[in-house]
Structure 1
Amino acid sequence: MPGVVVVGQVARDLVLVVDRVPEEGGSADVRERRELLGGKGANQAVACRRLGAAVELLGVVGADRAGEDVLAQAAADGIGVAGVLRREGVPTALLVDVVGPPGVRRLLEDVAPGALLTPEDVRARAGLLRDADAVLVQLQQPGPAVVEALAAAGGALVVADGAPADARTRRRVLDAADAVRADGSEAEALVGWAPRGVPETVRAAQELLEEGPRVVALAAGETDVVAWAGGHVVLPHLGEEPVDPTGAGDAFVAALAVALLRGEDPATAAWWAAAAAAQVVGTPGGRPHLDPDRLRETVRRHRGA
């Protein structure tokens, strides 16, 4: 399988499952506790690996014990970590995911500025990007680092996820990316106006296609719209009632990228993405436990319905 480089956040995830999320001043017993490799970049890297791709991470962790632990977990997952910088004096990012009743969660993020990529970090690892078959770029990283990653990606399939930091970054993303994806809160920054409902989201995706990408995926409430030249599909959220939505978007992006890299048409890639997201939301935490056979069965069942 061709190689994927994921440019983005590498963090330690602390997942706390409670029967109820307490009100201000209240407390709740923790029913389940999990400590995981996390962050958007790592989540997407794990998902790509589970779907059969060879994967390298490009990100930042601290020169601390938490950084050692998350890199060891990534390596155990079969992910290359030569592109991950260990920064002295910076704590590894910590994400606390408090999961209450099904579908209810609170996410607390402790991400120091030094845990984000700089243009110099990206330039120092440009060889990874030049040699990749696909590059996944999280737009939550600073704009200059994103621009540097896009420039270094060469002829790779480029998939950008999130909201661009500024107008210059937005322009570079739309010029360079083969596919872009944004959730409901990010779409306005990517589109330039706030789509409401499915028809407006379809129109927004079609407008973005005219600016450069060949595939655009935008969330629209309880559905996702994926559009390409000459067509689009509106995807329901598949699966059972979600336990925790954390990581669903990351699995969506990873599956979309891997399917496109394998030469699938955009409609098929879109269904792969929806099925991958459905697998992730069934368990607490954003770590994807993807089963390719189950994913294919989900696609077959729902696409044929």
Structure 2
Amino acid sequence: MAPDVLCIGSVLWDVIGRAPRTMVKGSDVPGRITRIPGGVALNIAMTLRRFGLVPALLSAVGRDAEGDELVAACEVLGLVTDHLYRSDDLPTDRYMAVEGAGELIAAIADAHSLEAAGAKVLRPLEGALTGWDGPVALDGNLTEALLAEIAASPLFARADLRVAPASPGKAERLLPLLRHPGATIYVNREEAGLVAKTDPPDAEAGARDLLARGATRVLVTDGSRLAALGTAEGIVTRRPREVMVRRVTGAGDTFMAAHIAAEMRGEGRERALDTALRAAAEYVSGEGGE
């Protein structure tokens, strides 16, 4: 299949433990543990597919049993896996999280294989995908050096770049891409502050701070509070509907993918933001399925 969108970044197994009760350090409670395909790039790709688009994955996946199983699962979902870098030496990456009462308690991302593969994951852009000028969803699990290379690379000069950090701890990796004229930056309020070197009180202030730092286009979320879309035309805000939060891992990826899909359908600024917030609310409440 010819892809509509390229998703570049982490493709791995998510191991997530969820308990219905509040947890603190040292808690030992009953709950559910799942292992599902995940990673920022893959989460975005899976959501895009649900919206009827065909995403292609550019990432590193090991030639181990876990990697074979993961690639097979991606193909069943209708994702293009032809361009994955399959390593004989690097194991398939994993992510582990613990959630209690709908809040993230702790998480560890083991994306060492993706980082070690480096620019090898971009080789298809010099081969089968040469001249790509469509949407590219890019995540901060790539190394800071590779993200800086992407920001200056002619391979991405005409691309519609959609960029998100993998976590607050990796938000500052996005700095080289901040001034890319084709980049839309997706962050939460905390990440906006880390990238802009400020402490915004809300999403609107976070969007304003990023635009002041040279960003062309930003989307800033803030949980159940107002979300903001900022461009040179001004800032638009929308409030997500209130829902019972049952899960959080992957919510930001769902928001980003839904927004990309909405804009590809031709939805305007306000409507696309509403669409993305609705999709994220359905996800965290469990309405969108497991």
For the aligned residue pairs, the C-alpha RMSD in angstroms reads 2.7
Identify the residue that residue 87 of structure 2 maps to in structure 1.
87
- Deviation track 1:141-161 (CA, whole Å, cap 9, x = no partner) reads 112222344422342311111
The answer to whether the Cα contact below 8 Å between 2:192 and 2:207 also exists between their aligned partners in 1 is no
Once residues 115 and 171 of structure 1 are traced to their aligned partners in structure 2, the CA distance between those partners, rounded to angstroms, is 19
Listed as ranges, the gaps of 5+ residues in structure 1 are 291-305
Q: Which amino acid aligns with 2:11?
A: V
What does residue 189 of structure 2 align with? 184
For residue 22 of structure 1, report the CA deviation from its aligned partner: 5.4
The yes-or-no answer on 1:246 pairing with 2:249 is yes
- What is the DSSP-based 3-state SS (H/G/I as helix, E as strand, rest coil) of the residue aligned with 2:96? strand
Specify every segment of 5 or more residues in structure 2 that has no aligned partner in the other structure, as ranges.
Answer: none
Q: Write the mapping of 1:198-237 to structure 2, written as runs, cut at 5 A.
A: 198=203, 200-208=205-213, 211-213=214-216, 215-220=217-222, 222-237=225-240
Bigger shift: residues 171-180 or 10-19: 171-180
| Greater shift in the superposed pair: 129-138 or 272-281 | 129-138
Paired letter, 2:29? A
- 1:86–1:226 CA distance, 2 compared to 1 (3 A): same
TM-superposition CA deviations, 1:3-27 (whole Å, max 9, x none): 1001111110123232436555552
Q: Distance in 1 between matches of 2:5 and 2:232?
A: 25
Shift of 1:179: 1.2
Residue of structure 2 in register with 1:303 after alignment: none
Instruction: Name the TM-score, length of structure 1 as normaliser.
Output: 0.80
Structure 2 residue aligned with 1:43: 43
Distance in 2 (alpha carbons) for counterparts of 1:43 and 1:98: 18
- Measure, in 2, the Cα distance between the counterparts of 1:111 and 1:26: 23
How far residue 175 of structure 1 moved from its aligned partner, in angstroms, is: 1.8
Aligned to 1:114: 113
Shift of 1:258: 2.0
SS of residue paired to 1:245: coil
* 2:236 counterpart letter in structure 1: V
> Sequence identity, in percent?
22
Instruction: Calculate the TM-score normalised by the size of structure 2.
Output: 0.84
How far residue 123 of structure 1 moved from its aligned partner, in angstroms, is 4.0
Looking at structure 2, the residues matched to 36 and 205 of structure 1 have their Cα atoms a distance apart, in angstroms, of 34
Q: CA deviation at 1:42?
A: 0.5
CA contact (8 A) 1:137 1:149 kept: no
Quote the offset at 1:191 in angstroms: 1.8
Contact 1:123-1:148 at 8 Å conserved across structures: no
Provide the rounded CA distance (Å) in 2 between the counterparts of 1:205 and 1:96. Answer: 30
Mapping of residues 1-305 of structure 1, within 5 Å: 3-20=4-21, 23-30=24-31, 32-101=32-101, 103-116=102-115, 118-126=117-125, 127=127, 128=129, 130-131=131-132, 133-150=134-151, 151=153, 152-162=155-165, 165=172, 170-198=175-203, 200-208=205-213, 211-213=214-216, 215-220=217-222, 222-283=225-286
1:121 aligned partner, one-letter code: K
Query: 1:150-199 deviations in whole A, cap 9, x for unaligned?
Result: 42234231111125545xx6244422433111112321232232212355
Q: Secondary structure at the match of 1:13?
A: strand
Matched AA of 2:99? V
User: For residues 2 and 120 of structure 1, do their structure 2 counterparts lie closer, same or farther at Cα, with a shift above 3 Å needed?
Assistant: closer
